[in-house]
Structure 1
Amino acid sequence: MLLAAALLGGTAAAQGGHGPVFGLATPTLPEGAWNGDATLMSAGRGGERGLMARQTLRYGLTEDVQLNLSVPQTLAALPSPSRTRIGTMMGGMGDLEALALWRLQKHYPGGGRRVESTALASVLVPVVAERGGVRAAPGANAAVVTGYASRSLYGWVGAGAQGHLARDGDRLGPLGYASAVVGYRPPVFQGDYPKPDLRVFVEAVAEVAGRDRVAGEAVAASGGERVLVGPTALGLYRAWGLGAGVLFPVYDRSNGPQPREDARLAVNLSYWF
């Protein structure tokens, strides 16, 4: 998903509704505003890489409520994929996601600063019959995130959980996750819209994945714990945004003998209208 930040005083009001590439964030679109983007996301395990494209449409129902529809296309499937969302604010590989965001509270302490919290809830619909030998069924996801934004500094912390229903005795393992993001906007890019804008971020994602079940039995070599950290960046100009980032594993404790995860990548092109 596109890396974007809460846009404050002087920036185009319509350029909202996004969060960082991988981490949870609070911004919502203004009422009546639309955003569409195309994303390429990749995750690797054991020297093999999976590649997914996503098309996402977002709409600002009110100033504090946003609706998203995200449709995936698997371009290269991993034989043994991690149980992950890759980007925490959109579904993982193989899930269509209908997502609602509600900004629970917002506070303006002055000086172009904002503190706010947002809750997310979504329905997941699989577009592939199975993942890693496990039959896929519909699921749900929920998360909450709190953040701070100013003209130069940004930060968000949040956590969520995802689960799927059982299908013919199979069940994809549940997923718990948390993220932390810090960002900086250099002074040269703090000019008013429509001047070019650039922001740089460091993102961290932690995941705890439960074991899959096949024919009612837990799969010993599935699930585990991992933490990934890496840099991301966002460039904005008028109605366009280009974001990209990479996460590297710094901790990986898998259940049983599993391929180790390597870097996660994401590139996104976005347009507001």
Structure 2
Amino acid sequence: MNALKKFIRTGSLLSLFTTMLLLLSLSPTKLLAHEPIFGLGPNTIFKGGFGIETKYEKELLTGVDEPERTTSFRAEIMYGVTGDLAVTLSVPTIFGYTKRDSEGSRSGIGDISFRTKYRFWRDDKPGVQDAAAVIIGIKLPTGDYENTPALGSGSTDYLFALAAARASRRWYYFGNVRYRLNTKGNTIQFGNLFLADAAFGVRPWLTEYLKPDLVVMVELNWESRQRSKTEGQIMANSGGDRLFLSPGIFLTLRNWAIKGGVQIPLWQKMNGSQRETDYRYALAIEVHV
């Protein structure tokens, strides 16, 4: 049975990847806009266009009891309603949630999310573009939260964000703030989450627009989570603050991109007794059609 599940899971991933490659080979040329790897940017997609992204993510937590590893595969589809308005569906599959103790590991669909992005400001100048956007999203309790380890939070949560950027032929600057409002799920209400990100990118070599293009990025990612509650009581071992330094790369060729990065914790202050993040990393493939 386990072998069958692994075969189905692997086959699904390969099918999705193959579909992306077919779309890539058949689609006309559409240039990709750059955005942070771990934060959010203001860029949208052309009217009627689709952006398809598959992302592999991994996180290691240590410090209390046994290490905890979360590995996930995330598929995102973005659609351009207009040139300034885009909607995105994000479906995570947690296929390697592992703890080296009696709790073992589990796999399955996580919490599906949906978000809209409206670019309300864009200013084009010779060689420079400035832009800003507002993002609103919702996360649904589609992941199993009744067993351990849980694949979802069991709650319907809401995202509110503001992002801005300046892009030129050589330099990129990004900034965004995000607030996730969490509601009660099952018996636990996880603490609300505030995130702030700043990113800086540079194109080491100026190339032709239809040639392979490399941008090197460095991000600072701040996370601050409030304490969680259970049955109306504050949980002592919950909430805290984290600051990450996140180097990464963004390699594009016409309408497709490969991007990846690693989040290195610079400072962590967790409340009570909690695991801390050793590292996070992400690798993604994206195509616009």
Q: TM-score, normalised by structure 2?
A: 0.80
Alignment partner for residue 77 of structure 1, among 69, 92, 97?
97
Partner amino acid for 1:191?
Answer: E
User: Take 1:207 and 1:163, find their aligned partners in 2: how far apart are those partners?
Assistant: 14
Alignment partner for residue 37 of structure 1, among 53, 63, 78?
53
Alignment partner for residue 190 of structure 1, among 196, 200, 207?
207
User: Take 1:209 and 1:27, find their aligned partners in 2: how far apart are those partners?
Assistant: 27
Deviations 1:15-58 (A, max 9, x none): 24x62110121111011111111111111110432111111001
Mind listing any 5+ residue stretches in structure 2 that lack a counterpart?
Answer: 1-28, 100-108
Partner amino acid for 2:154?
Answer: A
Mind listing any 5+ residue stretches in structure 1 that lack a counterpart?
Answer: 1-11, 80-92
User: Take 1:204 and 1:231, find their aligned partners in 2: how far apart are those partners?
Assistant: 9
Partner amino acid for 1:262?
Answer: D
Misfit runs of 4+, over 3 Å: 131-135
For the pair 1:142 / 2:182, whether they are aligned, the reply is no
**1:226-245 to 2 correspondence within 5 Å?**
226-245=242-261
User: Take 1:262 and 1:180, find their aligned partners in 2: how far apart are those partners?
Assistant: 21
Alignment partner for residue 140 of structure 2, among 85, 110, 125?
125
Deviations 1:163-187 (A, max 9, x none): 2221344212110110000000123
User: Take 1:58 and 1:155, find their aligned partners in 2: how far apart are those partners?
Assistant: 23
Deviations 1:216-254 (A, max 9, x none): 221101110010012110111233211110010001000
For the pair 1:107 / 2:123, whether they are aligned, the reply is yes
Question: RMSD of the TM alignment (CA)?
Answer: 1.9
Q: TM-score, normalised by structure 1?
A: 0.84
**1:159-170 to 2 correspondence within 5 Å?**
159-170=177-188
Count of aligned pairs: 245
Q: In proportion to residue count, which structure has more helix?
A: 2
Q: Identity rate of aligned residues, in percent?
A: 25
- Say whether the 8 Å CA contact 1:14–1:30 is kept in structure 2: no
**1:79-94 to 2 correspondence within 5 Å?**
94=110
Partner amino acid for 1:38?
Answer: T
What secondary structure does 1:26 align onto?
A: coil
User: Take 1:268 and 1:224, find their aligned partners in 2: how far apart are those partners?
Assistant: 28
User: Take 1:221 and 1:77, find their aligned partners in 2: how far apart are those partners?
Assistant: 21
What secondary structure does 2:189 align onto?
A: coil
The verdict on how the C-alpha distance between 1:190 and 1:230 changes in structure 2, with shifts beyond 3 A counting, is same
How far did residue 14 of structure 1 move? 4.5
